[in-house]
Chains A and B, each alone.
Chain A
Amino acid sequence: MRRTAFAAAVLGLASLCLAPYHADAAMQQLNPLPRGGSYVLDPDPGVGTAAIGLWFRAPGAGYDNATPGLANLAATAAAVAPLASGRSLYALVHTVGGQLNIEVYPDIVGIAAIVPASASRRIVAAMTAAYFAPAVDDTAVKTARANAAVLGVQQRYESDTTLHDLLFGQIFANGPEHYPPLPTSVSQLTSISTAQVSDFAKRAFRAENGVLTLTGNVDASSVAAVTDGPGGGSMDRPFDSTLAPTPASATSTGSVDGVGLAWIGPPIADEKAATALDFIADYLFREQTGVVTKALDKAQSDALVVGQFITLHDPGVMLVTIGGDHEKQAEQHVLDALSALQQPMDRQTFESAREAFLYHVAADTQTPQERADNLGWYSVEGNLDYAPGIGSGSYERAARELDPQYVADIVRRYLGKPVVVDLVATTPQKESTP
């Protein structure tokens, strides 16, 4: 139901996309870009930087889910391909003193630049030109392949990311989430042609499939810098994946040891349930303050536990990854803590934990970059109003509606027996740098 409503809203916006922008357009909601697509603005004149983001719905392994790494190559190639000025988006961002990050997930792509405020219009123009009218050539794809190959090698030594991909492969039988966004095999990357990358970029990064996010010291007038895009059209529907009928646990070999646990959660439309799972992750696993984190610290464990609810269009996934030493003992800590949460917390403990949770959310969404990422992610996953950290949004309301009984119900409903992946290192080795 939420997805349908969202699609209708996007279609509605598409019909307005040739209308001029308004400098006083309502903030923190989707507004139409002049030539297709939409933007969301969240200004903060108290800082010296602007965060410019561009987010798309795009299947990581291609539209036929047969080419893992395709979205990654396309996103990188578009960033390094020369623009009309002769300089690429990547080079321009660095020239003005900024940083460019390319984030490729199984179902979405996010491009994020943090730049000095005065450069925001130039970067808006360059970023939308690079993606809304991608001019990907062999040189750009070669750079993208090299980049992906290095990141792929690096990822082997990151148990968190490796376990994430392995668990998603177990939970989802088909669709983008089944495939890692970055293949570790170089041969998979070299088999992707420039034509494939170019075709994918032109389809995935079309203006009407994008959401531009503007946060920090920036205002709506920057939208006038968008000169590319054909106008018309609409955003793709979210790329959901098919759940495995009976997800099985597994053991996998890799370069590092680790244990991963996953549970299938609610869709983004079920705001209260999704927020309850965010609360549980914060209460148990947050660095320094989480109940499990503190218990492991007290036990002087070397295990590193990372727990989060990943909010996706449908469904979301609760994920816990354990690296370091003594993973199995840490796993038992995690399961025991979840078991205890099947009973309602006492009211006072709950009230304190919820207040702490609300603070953590606000603290984690205070910089322009954090806010831009949140606005982009929640926009393309289908529920911008629910983006954490938005003052007038629904997230805080959902958090304040939680109560001990509801949280316990959510634990019983979603966090029963997990899918477990044991990652076993075969031949540990250091990354070699040329």
Chain B
Amino acid sequence: MRSPFSLCAIAAFTIALSPSPTLAAATVPVPAVENVAGATIVRQPDSTASLVGVAYVVRAGLDRQTLKENGLSALVAETIVRTPVALRQAQGDMPAMPLEEAIAARGGSVRFTVDPSDVRFYVESLADDAPAVLQLFRSAIAAPDFSPPTVREARSTLVREIAQTQQIALQVGLDMLNAASSSQANVGLPELGTPNSLAQFFSNDARGFYQRYYRRGGVLVSAAGRLEVLPPDALTSLASALPEGTTAAVPVRVAALSGATHEIVAHRDIASPWLIAQYPAPKVDSRDFGPMLVLAAFIRRTLSDIAQVPGVVSPTFASRSVGAVYAYDRAPANLVLYVNGGLNGNPSRAFATALSIVNVLAATRLQGSIEEFKAEAAGDFANDATTLETRTWLAAVFSRESASPDFINGALAAIAATTPDDVQRVARTYLGNPTIALVLPRGANLSD
């Protein structure tokens, strides 16, 4: 019953669609970039915002760890977040408390993400509180507390987070796929480490990693929101919080996997299976970036059409059980398709259909209009870039990997310029050889 879907999907692609919708014009202000002594500052002032958000990117990610140091990057970042700082309030000074709690008490938040080459902090607060909150963050990142109690608490926090992450099937699958697709072995290891690897690290290990890799060279400070409330030197001061110097990745070569399709299987305490496929994808500075955004939109729409209950116009469990994500902000970039077996009546069939459609796309000459998918790609991209956190992060990614931090206008222009031939080329280039992850409930096996 579902098999006609692949034909329908291709037919939708090859039939000329109704008049082309107009894509968004370049109407969003361009972020400003400034280089300060090896660091880069990107500003997106927005006087209509209530908040100030700052992404602080340090070249201290997974590729700075040796294989034995997996988890050390996360441990240092968590230690910074838990570093005691003094909080001043109208009622007087409060006892020193972890940075995370102090910022929350001051009307804000701080969190971090470990990426392949970076660790990325994101600090956000009410505009009026931003100067004080950023000062708290600066004091912690400039002089973290590597005392045994703080490092111990940081390790405990990470172990709890790892346990929670292991219950999220999609994340388990993505971790496996990222490990398989990484060109450097250290980059493919778990972002937070493992409980066993973390247990090997003590204060001196964390302090040593910090001293080696928390350097000003390559630091990126990307800010958005009510920036006019900040003192003129607030962002410059943040950029120069770390000592001068640059660092290099630790090369840990691994032989590339050979052969056709690869499958990776894991079992977890989850209720239903997940099926995930990963393909390589272009970076944001590639000429293939715009076409891949359009291709991802097409695949996303097709997957949703496969899963959705016919005739239903509202989002349902079924339509949300599938998806496609183009992770252009990751190194290496990739495209992921997934099916959640808990929400989909026949996940194997949905997944097989999706894979066949991708195969057909890569092999068949495409004709007709792609305007509707270009519009969808533009809408998805713009809609995913409306919070201060995404705006600061995307500006940082585009600033680092392309000539301009102008992510909205740049992406929309790339989408607008995409032709059917571009989509065909990109499909052929990238969609030939997926790696597939199956995350199964314990006790289940591949034949179930």
B314 to chain A, nearest CB (A): 6
Given contacts A99-B383, A367-B387, A433-B309, contact A118 B25 (CB under 8 A): yes
B343 proximity list for chain A (CB < 8 A): 431, 433
A101 proximity list for chain B (CB < 8 A): 314-315
Binding-face segment, A38-46, A260-268, A270-278: A38-46
Select A79's contact among B104, B307, B313, B375, beta carbons within 8 Å.
B313
The answer on a CB contact under 8 Å between A147 and B313 is: yes
The answer on a CB contact under 8 Å between B22 and A118 is: yes
The answer on a CB contact under 8 Å between B29 and A49 is: no
The answer on a CB contact under 8 Å between A147 and B314 is: yes
Task: Let me know if B37 is at the binding interface, CB within 8 A.
Answer: no
Task: Let me know if B107 is at the binding interface, CB within 8 A.
Answer: yes
**Count of A interface residues, CB-CB < 8 Å:** 60
Given contacts A46-B46, A117-B382, A367-B387, contact A355 B107 (CB under 8 A): yes
| Chain B 79-129 interface residues, beta-carbon cutoff 8 Å to A | 89-91, 94, 104-109, 124-126, 129
Task: Let me know if B412 is at the binding interface, CB within 8 A.
Answer: yes
B250 to chain A, nearest CB (A): 33
Task: Let me know if B148 is at the binding interface, CB within 8 A.
Answer: no
A115 proximity list for chain B (CB < 8 A): 379
Instruction: Kindly state the separation between the CA atoms of A353 and B89 in the bound complex, as whole angstroms.
Output: 13
Task: Let me know if B275 is at the binding interface, CB within 8 A.
Answer: no
A146 proximity list for chain B (CB < 8 A): 309, 311-312
The answer on a CB contact under 8 Å between A117 and B313 is: no
The answer on a CB contact under 8 Å between B23 and A116 is: yes
Given contacts A48-B28, A433-B344, contact A363 B382 (CB under 8 A): no
The answer on a CB contact under 8 Å between A47 and B386 is: yes
Residue of B nearest to A355 (CB): B107
The answer on a CB contact under 8 Å between B50 and A98 is: no
Residue of B nearest to A365 (CB): B50
B286 to chain A, nearest CB (A): 21
Instruction: Kindly state the separation between the CA atoms of A207 and B109 in the bound complex, as whole angstroms.
Output: 42
User: CB-defined interface of A67-81 with B at 8 Å, one 1/0 digit per residue?
Assistant: 000000000100110
Task: Let me know if A406 is at the binding interface, CB within 8 A.
Answer: no
The answer on a CB contact under 8 Å between A96 and B28 is: no
The answer on a CB contact under 8 Å between A352 and B46 is: no
Select A45's contact among B21, B27, B312, beta carbons within 8 Å.
B27
The answer on a CB contact under 8 Å between A95 and B18 is: yes
A352 proximity list for chain B (CB < 8 A): 89, 104-106
* Residue from B28, B44, B91, B342 whose CB has the most chain A CB atoms within 10 Å: B28
* Residue from A90, A356, A430 whose CB has the most chain B CB atoms within 10 Å: A356
B116 to chain A, nearest CB (A): 26
B125 proximity list for chain A (CB < 8 A): 359
B51 proximity list for chain A (CB < 8 A): 359, 362-363, 366
Given contacts A49-B382, A362-B50, contact A151 B311 (CB under 8 A): no
Task: Let me know if B366 is at the binding interface, CB within 8 A.
Answer: no
User: CB-defined interface of A218-239 with B at 8 Å, one 1/0 digit per residue?
Assistant: 0000000000000000000000
The answer on a CB contact under 8 Å between A363 and B310 is: no
B444 to chain A, nearest CB (A): 15
B109 proximity list for chain A (CB < 8 A): 359, 363
User: CB-defined interface of B21-41 with A at 8 Å, one 1/0 digit per residue?
Assistant: 111110111000000000000
A82 to chain B, nearest CB (A): 13
B82 to chain A, nearest CB (A): 16
Residue of B nearest to A95 (CB): B21
Task: Let me know if A416 is at the binding interface, CB within 8 A.
Answer: no
User: CB-defined interface of A349-362 with B at 8 Å, one 1/0 digit per residue?
Assistant: 00110011011001
Task: Let me know if A368 is at the binding interface, CB within 8 A.
Answer: yes
B380 proximity list for chain A (CB < 8 A): 97
The answer on a CB contact under 8 Å between B24 and A433 is: no
Select B28's contact among A114, A217, A355, A431, beta carbons within 8 Å.
A217
Task: Let me know if B245 is at the binding interface, CB within 8 A.
Answer: no
| Chain A 390-434 interface residues, beta-carbon cutoff 8 Å to B | 391, 430-434
B230 proximity list for chain A (CB < 8 A): none
B387 proximity list for chain A (CB < 8 A): 366-367
Select A431's contact among B23, B307, B317, B372, beta carbons within 8 Å.
B317
Instruction: Kindly state the separation between the CA atoms of A43 and B214 in the bound complex, as whole angstroms.
Output: 39
Instruction: Kindly state the separation between the CA atoms of A358 and B129 in the bound complex, as whole angstroms.
Output: 11
Instruction: Kindly state the separation between the CA atoms of A401 and B48 in the bound complex, as whole angstroms.
Output: 24
User: CB-defined interface of B333-374 with A at 8 Å, one 1/0 digit per residue?
Assistant: 000000000111110000000000000000000000000101
Instruction: Kindly state the separation between the CA atoms of A42 and B50 in the bound complex, as whole angstroms.
Output: 13
Task: Let me know if B318 is at the binding interface, CB within 8 A.
Answer: yes
Cβ-closest 6 pairs across A and B: A97-B379, A48-B382, A352-B105, A97-B375, A433-B345, A116-B24
Interface residue ranges, A against B (CB under 8 Å): 42-49, 76, 79-80, 87, 90, 94-102, 114-119, 143, 146-147, 150-151, 154, 157, 216-217, 289, 347-348, 351-352, 355-356, 358-359, 362-363, 365-369, 389, 391, 430-434
Q: List 5 A-B contacts (CB under 8 A).
A: A47-B382, A49-B383, A97-B379, A359-B124, A369-B386
Given contacts A116-B23, A347-B91, 14 further A-B contacts (CB under 8 A): A44-B46, A44-B49, A46-B224, A46-B391, A48-B28, A116-B24, A143-B311, A146-B312, A351-B90, A356-B104, A359-B107, A366-B386, A367-B386, A368-B386
